[in-house]
Structure 1
């Protein structure tokens, strides 16, 4: 378990150092990256499909990535997901396109979607950037 927290800290540090309004999709019971990003003032909200998820100090909203409420993501410069199911990646890409944000994904194991997008090295962790926002 300690190793996983190190991964999430690396993800959180990378995002907090480069983005100003990030949204985590599918936070579940794993708030480590979001907590770090929030502590640095760069987290907009977190979402999950399951209602009732709460993490102290984090705004968690119920939303379905397959039918997202675009108002939740408007103004985000980054949408990210930590270990989402691969079936979530196409709607994440579509959502990032609709709100014009970057999309970063940390995959479970060696799972990737299509060509894996652009590999982003953030230390001991590799993220997959599936979309870049407009300049």
Structure 2
């Protein structure tokens, strides 16, 4: 399942890179200690990846609080994604997305609904991965 989500993000990133003739800027919000997807995305030379968390697990993660975000981190982002974000931060993530105007992908816990799906988030099934996406036009 994680490979499928990673593949989807990478394919989307490749589409943006070829359209815009530059690296795709991706920000992962709330990376925590699960960095499997980010570790693989970082290997792609067409991706500029920034990982954020309120409590960074290592030096590769930027400290940021989604309730009081440093918008310089997100400026110019093409894709923001978050894996299993708690329901109480989903609205804050959507506010960042609204200000930046980018694609947002949220992979909730299995069988968990989003608090923000009424705001244009659509359920997407890609191979074995299920997630919500708000796609920038």
TM-score scaled by structure 2? 0.82
**Distance of 2:93 and 2:62 partners within structure 1:** 16
Q: Bigger shift: 110-119 or 71-80? A: 110-119
Q: How does 1:15-94 map to 2 (within 5 A)?
A: 15-19=9-13, 20-41=24-45, 42-51=47-56, 53-54=57-58, 59-94=60-95
**Distance of 1:82 and 1:92 partners within structure 2:** 12
5+ residue gaps in structure 2?
14-23
- How far does residue 115 in structure 1 lie from its aligned partner after superposition? 6.8
Moved over 3 A (4+): none
Number of equivalences: 123
Q: Bigger shift: 67-76 or 112-121? A: 112-121
5+ residue gaps in structure 1?
1-6
Q: Deviations over 1:37-76 (max 9, x none)?
A: 111232420000004x227xxx310000111100001111
TM-score scaled by structure 1? 0.83
Q: Aligned-residue CA RMSD in angstroms?
A: 1.6
